[in-house]
Amino acid sequence: MDDESRIVELELRYMQQQELLLQLSDALYAQQREMGALRAELEHVKKKLEGEPGLVDARQQEKPPHY
């Protein structure tokens, strides 16, 4: 393999790595956005459950029929 073909091969590998890094960066960004949305939704559900404790298990709040 001569010097020029080695340089071309290295340039091609570099370009492929750059493209892969961009794809990985985009995927990571999308995951971070999704995790942020899920965290916000989880906090909303937690606050809702704290405000209405019987919402989790309504049977705990009811008396059995034989009382």
| DSSP structure string for 2-52 | -HHHHHHHHHHHHHHHHHHHHHHHHHHHHHHHHHHHHHHHHHHHHHHHHH-
8-47 pLDDT per residue, tens = 999 999 999 999 999 999 999 999 999 999 999 999 999 9
pTM: 0.63
pLDDT for the residue numbered 52: 80
